[in-house]
Amino acid sequence: MSDGPLAGIRVIEVGHMLAGPYCGLLLADMGAQVIKIEPPQGDLARKVSPHFIGAHNAYFASLNRNKQSVVLDLASAHGRSGLEAIATTANALITNLRPSAIRKLGLTYDSLRACNPKIVCVALTGYGMDGPYSDNPAYDYVIQALAGVMALTGEPTAPPTKAGYSAVDNSTGIMAALALLAKIVEGRGGQVDVAMYDVMLSQLNYLAGATLNAGEIVSRLANSSHPYIVPAQIFPTQDGWLTLFITHDHFWRIFCTEVGHPEWASDPAFATMAARRDHRGQVLEAVGAVLLQAPAGVWVGRLAPLGLVVSEVQTLGQALDSELTASRGLVVQLGEAGEATGPHGAHPALRAIASPVRFDGFVPCYRLPPLLDEHHAEVMAKAYG
C-alpha cells in the first residue's frame, strides 16, 4: 500500500460482520497495517451475502479491503501465543465481540499489557464492557429500537422504522477509530470502551437536549419534516419526490419570488422562521400545492441555481451512477480485473466505495480483501522474527 497518514501504525482486528471491520477499514485505507485475526471458520461476513465476485463475498469485500488475514484459534494456547506475538509490536487492537468473549479470549489491555504496555485495546460492544446490560446481545436493529431512533423514523401513522442502512454499526466504527487514534496520539496504552448504545444517544444531540431541558416530546413528522425548520422535508412533485430545505428567511424570500408567490414573504404567518414553524400546516399545504405543478427535475433546475438547498430523492443505484459520484471518484476497483484469487481463479472487476477521507499527496491503494488465512506465514514470521 502507498504510504498514508497512518503508515507505520499496526492494528490487530478481531472483529466480525460490520462495526469492528468498518473501524479497521477506515484505518487501513489511511495506510495502517490491519491484521485481521479470524477463527478457523472465518468471519461470518464471508458468507452473509448471496453475491460472490469470484472468490469474494460482496458483503465481506465492502468492509475488509486492504487488510491481512491470519487464522488463529484464540481459545487454544497456540492461538493465544500467536496473538501475543503479534501484539508485541502492534499499536492497537480492535474487537467487537461480546464483553464475556473479549475477556475470555484475552483481548483486553489488562491481558495484553504484559507483552506490550503501549498497546491500545478498543472494545466495540452493545452496552459497554461493564454494567448490568453489558453482555446482552446487541445488533444494529436492537440499538435503533432502544435508543429511540426507530420511534423517530417514518411516517406518524406508520410503524416505527429503522434507518435504511446500518447506522449504528457504522457510527460506532467511526467513533472507535477516533478513540483509537486519540490514545495513540496520547502515547499511552490502555482500554477504550465504545458502546453502540452510547454512540446513538450521543448522535441524538439536539433532540435529546430538547427533551432533557425543555421536556419536549419529540415525535415523527410527516414526509421527514425537520422539527424546527419549515419548509424542510420531502415533497411530492409531478414525477417523484423533492427534498427542499429552506434554512432562513433570506432563502425563503428567494423561494417565494421564484415560485410566483412574493406575497408569502410578507404574510405574517409565513414571513419568519418562527412564524412558519407556528403555522406549519398552512405553510406546507401552500408550498406542497405549488411543487405538485412541475416535475422534481424542473424544480431542481430552477431553485438550485438560486442557492436553495434542493434535490431529487434518488435510489442507491441512481446515486452510484450519478455525475456527482463520478466527479468525486467514489466508485473504485479493488485490485486488478482478472487478478488471480486462489483456487477460484480469476474474477471480474470487484468494485467498492472509496474512502470518504482525502489527504493532500496521498491516494489510497485499494487492494482486494484477503482470502481466509492468506497472510498467515508472512505475519507470523515477522511476529516471531
* Displacement of CA 36 from its chain's centroid (Å): 19
- Give residue 340's pLDDT band: very low, low, confident or very high (50, 70, 90): very low
CA end-to-end distance (rounded Å), the chain = 22
Residue 337: what pLDDT? 57
What's the rounded Cα separation, in Å, for the pair 374 and 37? Answer: 11
Q: Are residues 92 and 164 in the same domain?
A: yes
Report, as an integer, the average pLDDT of 339-345: 49
Residue 109 lies in a domain: yes
In one-letter notation, the amino acid at residue 36 is K
Q: Are residues 18 and 95 in the same domain?
A: yes
Q: Are residues 241 and 380 in the same domain?
A: no
How do strand 56-57 and strand 52-53 relate by DSSP bridges? antiparallel
Domain that holds residue 245: 222-313
What's the rounded Cα separation, in Å, for the pair 12 and 291? Answer: 53
Report, as an integer, the average pLDDT of 59-72: 98
Q: Are residues 305 and 330 in the same domain?
A: no
- Partners of 124 in the beta sheet? 194
- Partners of 122 in the beta sheet? 94, 192
Residue 61 lies in a domain: yes
For 133, half-sphere exposure in the C-beta direction (CA atoms, 13 angstrom radius) is 11
Cell matching residue 4: 498514508
In sequence order, which ranges of 153-226 are alpha helices (DSSP H)? 167-186, 196-203, 205-214
Q: Are residues 281 and 351 in the same domain?
A: no
What is the per-residue DSSP string for 275-316?
A: HHHHTHHHHHHHHHHHHTTS-HHHHHHHHGGGT-EEEE---H
Residue 1: what pLDDT? 43
Convert the pLDDT of each residue in 296-313 to its tens digit.
999 999 999 999 999 999
Q: Into how many domains does the chain fold?
A: 2
Residue 3: what pLDDT? 86
What burial class does residue 262 get, using C-beta atoms within 10 Å of its C-beta: 0-12 exposed, 13-18 middle, 19+ buried? exposed
Q: Is the pLDDT of residue 257 over 90?
A: yes
Q: Is the pLDDT of residue 346 over 90?
A: no
Q: Are residues 309 and 331 in the same domain?
A: no
Residue 217 lies in a domain: no
Q: Is the pLDDT of residue 2 over 80?
A: no
Convert the pLDDT of each residue in 125-176 to its tens digit.
999 999 999 999 999 999 999 999 999 999 999 999 999 999 999 999 999 9
The rounded mean pLDDT for the chain is 95
Cell matching residue 311: 434535490
End-of-domain residue from the set 252, 281, 313: 313
- Give residue 336's pLDDT band: very low, low, confident or very high (50, 70, 90): confident
What burial class does residue 276 get, using C-beta atoms within 10 Å of its C-beta: 0-12 exposed, 13-18 middle, 19+ buried? buried
Q: Are residues 25 and 123 in the same domain?
A: yes
Q: Are residues 65 and 125 in the same domain?
A: yes
Name the one residue in this structure whose C-alpha cell is 432502544: 146
pTM: 0.93
Q: Are residues 26 and 150 in the same domain?
A: yes
Residue 37 lies in a domain: yes
Name the one residue in this structure whose C-alpha cell is 405574517: 268
Cell matching residue 201: 444517544
Q: Is the pLDDT of residue 345 over 60?
A: no
What CATH number is associated with residue 286?
A: 3.30.1540.10
What CATH number is associated with residue 370?
A: 3.40.50.10540
Residue 138 lies in a domain: yes
End-of-domain residue from the set 313, 348, 367: 313
Residue 210 lies in a domain: no
Q: Are residues 34 and 163 in the same domain?
A: yes
Q: Is the pLDDT of residue 104 over 70?
A: yes
Task: Report the candidate in 381, 379, 373 with the shortest Cα–Cα distance to residue 342.
Answer: 373
Convert the pLDDT of each residue in 370-380 to its tens digit.
999 999 999 99
Residue 4 lies in a domain: no
Q: Are residues 51 and 91 in the same domain?
A: yes
Residue 5 lies in a domain: no
What's the rounded Cα separation, in Å, for the pair 89 and 192? Answer: 19
End-of-domain residue from the set 313, 343, 363: 313
Q: Are residues 95 and 30 in the same domain?
A: yes
